Amino acid sequence: MDKNRTKEIGIKHLNDISSHIEGINKWKNILLEYQFKSVYTDDVLAWLSSVLALKAVYSENLGIGSVLVDNENNVVGEGHNKVFNPYFRSDLHAEMVVLNQFEENNKDIKSVKGYTLYTSLESCPMCLTRLITSGVNTVLYVAPDKFGGMVHIRKNLPSIWHDLSENQKFGQADCSQDLINASEEIFLLNREELDKKIKMRQGY
């Protein structure tokens, strides 16, 4: 992986963010100034997923970002949650966006063994089963989600998913606590507001 190239990708995304909202500007500046910690093997890609999470909030979606890298750690897919904007699509979680993009653009790739997907927040049940089906070798989350995350309780999935995921690895990225905190806080920036929108769609 070219750390400088990955940083360029992230800086470009951050420069696309121009907001008057204090929380967004605060995290934009923190991420712009962040210094990678070489002691953590996943720090660079965890940072990029956090950058994409902030871009999700800026676009009025839930603050979750995701990055897919190949077996040489080159970024081959990136995206963020798009459930609410530009229009409502209940399936467009960050991981879904990245996999949709990658699979659509790489129909000739028969195996993603050796590929790794990073997500700023622990994957939900829907995304976890999609990731298992995709065959992505390793799935790493930056911040745990004890309320909505499925990775830490994947033993509760039906047995077929255990069989299919036997050769896959799921866990937390090896990154700094600063990035874990960033991903948690970015996710919370507009979560209550967007949760209300979902309840409104449900008639509450």
Q: Please list the pLDDT of the chain residue by residue as tens digits (204 residues).
A: 678 899 999 999 999 999 888 999 999 999 999 999 999 999 999 999 999 999 999 999 999 999 999 999 999 999 999 999 999 999 999 999 999 999 999 999 999 999 999 999 999 999 999 999 999 999 999 999 999 999 999 999 999 999 999 999 999 999 999 999 999 999 999 999 999 999 999 987
The pLDDT of residue 1: 63
Residues 6 or more apart whose Cβ sits within 8 Å of residue 113: 71, 135, 137
Residue 121 near residue 183, CB atoms below 8 Å:
yes
- Give the per-residue pLDDT at 204: 78
Half-sphere exposure in the Cβ direction for 146 (13 Å, CA): 0
Given this model, what pLDDT does residue 3 score?
A: 86
For residue 85, what pLDDT is reported? 96
* Distances in whole angstroms, Cα of residue 128 to Cα of each of 22, 119, 153, 154: 33, 11, 11, 9
